[in-house]
Amino acid sequence: MLRQPHLRRIMSGVFATGLLIFGAAECTAEPPPPLSAQTSVLLDDSVPFSVPADTKVVSVANPAVADVAKTDAPTVYMLTGRSFGSTSVLVLDGIGNQLARVTITVGRPRGLVTVQHGPAQRTTYACGPTCSPTAAVGDSGESFGALASQLQQRGQQLTGAPQ
């Protein structure tokens, strides 16, 4: 039968071994890959990517279509699809040399259904098990505005901001 001090020693050894194994795995995590020359991202989705260490500028030609944001890691950025279309991303070093040029295409996520009610009455729905209205570029002003207003009110309720 094991006595209590032996059990504590065994458990602390197991715990220390686990920290070494999992700690080492965390430290050796691979950075995300760089963007390929033609990269696709879904609307309202983000993907991480890495840039060369000597990068000084990451520029998006049309930030209404896609956006990049720097992370805490010095060579890792996030690419986010903002609206349908294409744009380019340039990566430059400190003296303006082009390190990469990437064409970004923002596409429609699966599960989005667009309903055309008439020539100028379009509404988009996000469908999973059920469908709910969602704001999408190209929706009619009435549909888009009503949903945007509801989302703004909901956001204010969640943050406690005055309505």
| Domain coordinates in residue numbering, the chain | 1-30, 38-107, 112-159
* Pair 106, 83: CB distance under 8 Å: yes
Residue at 18: amino acid letter: G
Query: What is the token pair recorded at 45?
Result: 């989705």
On the question of pLDDT at 147 being above 60, the answer is yes
Top CATH class, 38-107:
mainly beta
Coil/strand/helix, residue 36:
coil
Mean pLDDT, rounded, for 21-48: 77
Question: Rounded distance, CA 16 to CA 14, Å?
Answer: 6
Query: What is the token pair recorded at 151?
Result: 């989302």
Using 50, 70 and 90 to split pLDDT, how confident is the model at 55? Answer: very high
The percentage of residues in the chain with a pLDDT greater than 90, rounded to a whole number, is 34
**Predicted local confidence at residue 28, as pLDDT:** 57
| 109-118 tens-digit pLDDT | 777 777 777 7
User: Which of 94, 71, 67 lies closest to 82 in space, CA to CA?
Assistant: 67
